[in-house]
Amino acid sequence: MPDPARLTVRGLTKTFGSAQVLTDVELSVLPGEVHGLAGQNGSGKSTLIKIITGLYTPDPGALFEVDGRPIRLPVRWPEVHAAGVSVVHQDLGLLDQLTVSENICVGGFPTRLGRINRTRRDELAARTLDRLGVSLSPARVVGTLTAAQRAEVAIARAMRDLTPGSGLIILDESTRALSGADLEHIHQLLRRIAADGSSALMVSHSLSELMAVTDRMTVLRDGRVAGGGMPTSGLSEQELARRMLGSSVEAVTPRAVAGPQRQGAEGQEGPADPGRPAVTVTGLNGPHLADVSFSVARGEILGLTGLPGSGYEDIAYLVSGAQRAVAGELRTGSAKVNLARGSVAACLRAGVVLVPERRDRDGLAFELSMRDNISLPELGKRGRPWFVARRWQQEDAEAAAATLGIRPRAPHILVKQLSGGNQQKVLLAKWLNTGPALLVLHEPTQAVDIGARTDILHALQRAANTGTSILLVSSEPEDLVATCDRILVYGREVGLRQADAATPEQLIEEIYATSEATAGSLT
């Protein structure tokens, strides 16, 4: 192409402390194209956008150009904005009580003698809307608009200062509130913008949307480009999913020992040992999922996965009482819990414990010590109302540090002083220490290094070998295939299906198949 790319990023690396979030990322958006930026949560999409908009400083050595002109790093937003780059916010950034014209012109009001010139403001808004082919009165109050119209206003604001036929707008998951015809409408608008010669960079984790609207795509996985500037026409959704989810980039943990009841099939109640029976969940309905039933045998590791956004993650929180279910019942051999009550205490009494995904927010008190965090669930049981001894807390923390390989092995160390992997081990130790009947985990290996991941997965296998039932809710195909005795895949339309996958690649296919079934049932 004779024209230089509208936006070029090359050799971009970003390190936070010891963690490399982006590695040698390359991105090139051509004039007149809609370019997709795809990736799972945590793949580095947001970090990349935050560097482009000047919120984060990249590591030295990166190249950044707009229309062939180099931009000094770190990005100063006014400079890039003046060069013709603008952003549509994730939540659109509209003020409901103001008019369309005020919302479009905010940040660039035409003034005269320091006062806003209302006539010219309304003209500017009308002109911008007209250019985009949007019929909307500038005087309307934004709060009264439909979702699609609101998106149009936000896009019009981003397009306001761009010379027709130039410029780049970045849509950072801006369309996630839309669906169906509204989404289609906005896609047409984006196509019109691109046809006029402007460019759009669209960040999304929705495969179908990216397939529908983009010309080319860049896929990020674990902070690296897993596919750069691929023409969308040559891609299948499956191919895209494979690139997003990845396949065996890391060494897969071999199964150490099969669970004692590896064959424990669905519906089969856990026999033997009445203290640690199987756990059965029936008729679980949540805000985003309907009629889920499954059971976990004693000593079984049951995997649960699905497409992002299908709602399968909720199951971890619903089953453990952290989130209130619409309906549902959980049974262990000795207890029955009504999940519609959403009582953590009742689930804990039944022996169901949760290792949540967000260890910083839901899992651990970062300002307190490792010992205090590990002993928390046991204080009531093992202490007396007037006195809790320190010794067992110390011993438990030391034992956990030894078995899980927590470094440093100092029970008094504050959780915030530990690395991410060690924090995750503390969180796991906290709940393993309670001797649970069912251990529910959500993304236990997210953002931990490979050594910690191995330790964590082995700890799960050991726990299963001693009879603990484990429900592993995860989006990591490698983890699931490596550790689980059985894997269930959830799809919004098809419900739970048992996956028959021996490799991560096969599992990705099966996860993807749930969305095909969805699409099939819709048409």
Residue length, the chain? 523
Among 368, 466, 500, 519, binds another protein (CB under 8 A): 368
- Token pair, residue 194, equals 């691109």
CB of 326 to another protein, least distance (A): 13
Q: For the segment 438-497, give every residue that binds another protein (CB under 8 A).
A: 446-452, 454-455, 458, 461-462
Q: Are 85 and 51 in contact (CB under 8 A)?
A: no
Binding to another protein, residues 393-412 (CB under 8 A): 402-409
Q: Choose which of 361, 391, 502, 523 interacts with another protein (CB under 8 A).
A: 361
| Binding region for another protein (CB under 8 A) out of 235-243, 262-270, 417-425, 493-501 | 417-425
Contact 97, 145 (CB under 8 A): no
Contact 252, 246 (CB under 8 A): no
Q: Strands 216-221, 34-38: parallel, antiparallel or unpaired by DSSP?
A: parallel
Cα of 40 vs its chain's centroid, Å: 6
Cβ-based nearer residue to another protein, 8 or 40: 40
Cα of 272 vs its chain's centroid, Å: 40
Alpha-carbon distance of 227 to 223, in angstroms, equals: 12
Among the listed residues 387, 391, 502, 523, the single contact to another protein using CB under 8 A: 387
Instruction: Please choose, from the candidates 209, 167, 199, 273, the residue with its C-alpha nearest in 3D space to the C-alpha of residue 519.
Output: 209
**391 counts as binding another protein under rule CB under 8 A:** no
Q: Which stretch binds another protein (CB under 8 A): 4-12, 19-27, 116-124, 193-201?
A: 19-27
Q: What is the contact mask toward another protein in residues 246 to 275, using x (rule: CB under 8 A)?
A: ----xx-xx-xx------------------
Nearer to another protein, 7 or 49 (CB): 49
Size of the site for another protein (CB under 8 A): 88
122/313 with CB nearer another protein: 313
Q: Which of 222, 237, 329, 516 touches another protein by CB under 8 A?
A: 222
Interface with another protein (CB under 8 A), residue from 3, 239, 360, 500: 360
Scan residues 139-198 and list those touching another protein (CB under 8 A): none
Q: How far is the CB of 162 from another protein (least distance, A)?
A: 28
What CA–CA distance (Å, rounded) separates 146 from 134?
13
DSSP string, 89-140: -TTTT--TTSBHHHHHHTT---EETTEE-HHHHHHHHHHHHHHTT----TTS
Q: Which of 28, 47, 232, 469 binds another protein (CB under 8 A)?
A: 47
Is residue 179 within 8 Å of 171, Cβ to Cβ? Answer: no
Is residue 436 involved in binding another protein (CB under 8 A)? Answer: no
